[in-house]
Structure 1
Amino acid sequence: MGDEVQQLTRAFSGLGGLGVDEATMVSALARWRKQPEKRSGFRKGFRGFFFTTSPAGVELDLCQEEHLLRLAAEFARFKDLMVQWAMHPWERDARLAHQALHQHHPAAVLVEVACTRSADELLGARRAYHALFHRSLEEDVAFRAGDKPYCNLLVGLVSAYRYEGPRVNEEAAKAEAKALAAAVKEKQLAAAVESQEVVRILTTRSKPHLVETFKYYKEMHDGRSIEEDLGGVQSKEETLLAEAVLCLAAPAKYFSQVIEAALRDGADHHGKEALTRVAVTRSDHDMDEIRAAYQEQFGAKLEDAVAAKAHGHYRDALLSLVGGGGGGK
């Protein structure tokens, strides 16, 4: 392991103008799948690039800010992928959330982080946010979205610490399915985003409970799902509501749609960035499910679609992540 860590450290170390070693980086992606201890060892051994802090008593290895700026001048999408891959997942999510709030990145990134991470992962991201930016994520969301109709929904989502056990209150799930149905009746979705009952259900209930709630919703509507009823929305607040529901109900389907949009001809800058984000953040979680969802929805293999659109070492790195799962922390 020591030799491999040294090789990757040297690969990153060509930032003084001689260029990074992209081939070694791609090789590490392929070899270090599901070996979080290697990435942790790399961070701890590369003290010119990472530093250690302990927010709330939890030790984290974080990137030095000036090195991120130097990397930006070195290479573009491949740099983003490699740096996100090397980061501790909590720091990565904290920085993604900060970009969404302060650099006009899509608010959907906040929804992704809030709705598709485990309770402990989201708590860790909040701790990293506090350590990096000296304020809470909830505070920033409330301030930045304070005048928006979806503010309470976003604050509730990023503040959540959901129960993750298997128990579901069936009667409550049925009642809440009726409440959601009433809120989205006749496509009054903008009002639904501001509904205290909708916000309470989506921001406090466990994911198994919500799956049951959405199942009962579908039964009440002759097989029409809540995702379908939220489809075709127009306003930003309606879009966020639809994205939150899809992330909670069917994350693999959501991520496959994000990837497909990123691979379209004419995708904008943020859309293309999403391809890196999803590949890195989901490679060790549910990439198998995302590949299956992509095949089902779009009739093509995800690996083939990526290979046809991406190029060079960036393509090779993406294929290492989407083709068979990646490593963790």
Structure 2
Amino acid sequence: MAHLIAEECEKLTRAFSGFGGLGVEEKELVSVIGNWRHEPEKRSHFRRGCAAPLFNAEVENFERWEDDFVKHLKAEFARFKNVVLLWAMHPWERDARWANHVLHKAHPFAILVEIACTRSTEELLGARRAYHTLFHHSLEEDVAYRVKESNAQLLVGLVSSYRYEGSHVDEERAKLEAKALNDAIKKAGAKKPIENEDIIRILTTRSKPHLKVTFKFYKEMYGKSIEEDIAGDKCLQETVQCLRSPPIYFCKIINRAFKDGAEKNTKEALTRVIVSRSEIDMAEIKEVYHKQYGVKLEDVIAKSTHGNYRDALLSLVTGKEQES
């Protein structure tokens, strides 16, 4: 009997903690709740036995949850619900709400860059329309008002962009603009490169095929990629990465979420990327991830996440329902 209780306590601790990953094992919790519903002494044994980081036993007469762990549990339980909510939401509304959250909750501007640079012209226009309907301001208006950093002009240009989406590329113009980019980066002077008018104009107006050719010429002409030359400017570098190859960019975002000690925003990016790209370029993201990191994306998700959250992510990544 003692052995069985110890096993259930271990299962409960594992289900609550999600140590080494993201999410909570809801199914295991439900199983134990059913078995223990009339046995409060087992719950008391569990609280005393696992102690920190879940409980603080150094209080009079009872074992209390650690405050930090209560916050952790709320976040972990919320992950599955957030996946479902975001998956069911119209993509335009989803992007509009993410953008609004960035602007009002001081989240990383990388999310605005993602929305502006990895959506099609019509998708970005739809997100702007949804933002206007939901929040009674234009997206570009709120970006201009709320972003005080030196990247404000670039971000306004990106979110208000309406790019040509055909395949035609003027290679001579691409070469000239590769030179203009290099001149702006190397001879920035008092202004930062991200404030340079040529850089802003090229990155916010040119088609993505044109920019890919421009970036190719840049490396051929100057021996280094443009990303290397703007390594000191995170927002500018993320813009170039998103415009050049969304799958490579998203693989980096996904991989950061699995790192030990990843911050809350970094972990939340996993849900955002999997949900938003599941029907767009997930096959390419999986291929790039395997090539970049030597492991299948679905294997990393299976190992590093837990419970219904894990199953939902795997369903979106593989297109298959996960077995219980």
TM-score under structure 2 normalisation? Answer: 0.73
Give the partner amino acid of 1:307. Answer: A
Q: Which residue of 2 aligns with 1:177?
A: 178
Contact 1:181–1:217 under 8 Å retained in 2: yes
User: Residue 221 of structure 1: CA displacement?
Assistant: 2.2
User: Residue 324 of structure 1: CA displacement?
Assistant: 4.3
Determine whether 1:77 maps to 2:79: yes
Give the partner amino acid of 1:112. Answer: E
Q: Which residue of 1 aligns with 2:279?
A: 284
Q: Which residue of 2 aligns with 1:163?
A: 164
Q: Deviations over 1:217-257 (max 9, x none)?
A: 111123x32223333x2xxxx10000000000011100000
Give percent identity, aligned residues only.
Answer: 60
Q: 4+ runs of 1 displaced by more than 3 Å?
A: 72-75, 186-190
TM-score under structure 1 normalisation? Answer: 0.72
Q: 1:108 aligns with which of 103, 107, 110?
A: 110
User: Residue 183 of structure 1: CA displacement?
Assistant: 2.0
Contact 1:287–1:324 under 8 Å retained in 2: no
Q: Which residue of 1 aligns with 2:218?
A: 217
User: Where in structure 2 are the equivalents of 1:47-196 lying within 5 Å?
Assistant: 75-145=77-147, 147-185=148-186, 191-196=192-197
Q: Deviations over 1:121-168 (max 9, x none)?
A: 0000000000000110000000001x3211110000000010001111
Q: Deviations over 1:43-101 (max 9, x none)?
A: xxxxxxxxxxxxxxxxxxxxxxxxxxxxx999400111111100000000000000110
Q: Deviations over 1:278-321 (max 9, x none)?
A: 00000111111111221222221111111111000100111111
Figure out how many residues of one structure are paired with residues of the other and give that number: 250
User: Residue 106 of structure 1: CA displacement?
Assistant: 1.0
SS in 1 for 2:100: helix
CA root-mean-square deviation: 2.2
Determine whether 1:227 maps to 2:227: yes
Q: Which residue of 1 aligns with 2:306?
A: 311
Determine whether 1:323 maps to 2:324: no
Q: 2:261 aligns with which of 263, 266, 270?
A: 266
SS in 1 for 2:133: helix
Structure 2: stretches of 5+ with no match in the other structure:
1-25, 28-73
Structure of larger gyration radius: 2
Q: Which residue of 2 aligns with 1:66?
A: none
Give the partner amino acid of 1:158. Answer: V
CA distance in 1, matches of 2:172, 2:198: 16
